[in-house]
Amino acid sequence: MSKLARVFSGIQPTGVPQLGNYLGSIKNWVAMQNSGQYSELFYSVVDLHALTVPRDPRILRQETMEMAAAIIACGVDPKRSVLFRQSAVPAHTQLLWTLGCITPVGWLNRMTQWKSKLQSQNEAANLNAQAAQGLLTGLLTYPVLMAADILLYRATHIPVGEDQVQHLEFARDLALHFNKTYGQKLFPPPQSILTPSKRIMSLKDPLRKMSKSDPNEMSRITLSDTDDDIRRKIKRAPTDAISGITFDPKERPGVANLLSIYAALKDIADPAVAAHTMESMNNAQLKEAVADSVVQTLGPIRDRMHRLLDDKAYVEQVLCDNEAKARSVAEESWREIAKCVGLAGL
Q: How far apart are CA 146 and CA 168, in angstroms?
A: 8
**How large is the C-alpha radius of gyration of the chain?**
21
- CA distance to 114, 197, 212, per residue, from 263 (Å): 32, 9, 22
209 belongs to the catalytic site: yes
**Residue 319, helix vs strand vs coil:** helix
Catalytic residue among 212, 266, 312, 325: 212
- What is the rounded CA–CA span in Å between residue 68 and residue 70? 5
CA angle, 277 as apex, 18 and 250 as ends, to 5°? Answer: 60
Please state, in angstroms and rounded to a whole number, the distance separating the CA atoms of residues 318 and 7: 20
Q: Which entry of 27, 198, 209, 325 is annotated as an active-site residue?
A: 209
Determine the angle formed by the axes of helices 227-235 and 283-309, rounding to 10 degrees: 150
List the catalytic residue out of 3, 27, 79, 117: 117
Active site residues: 117, 209, 212
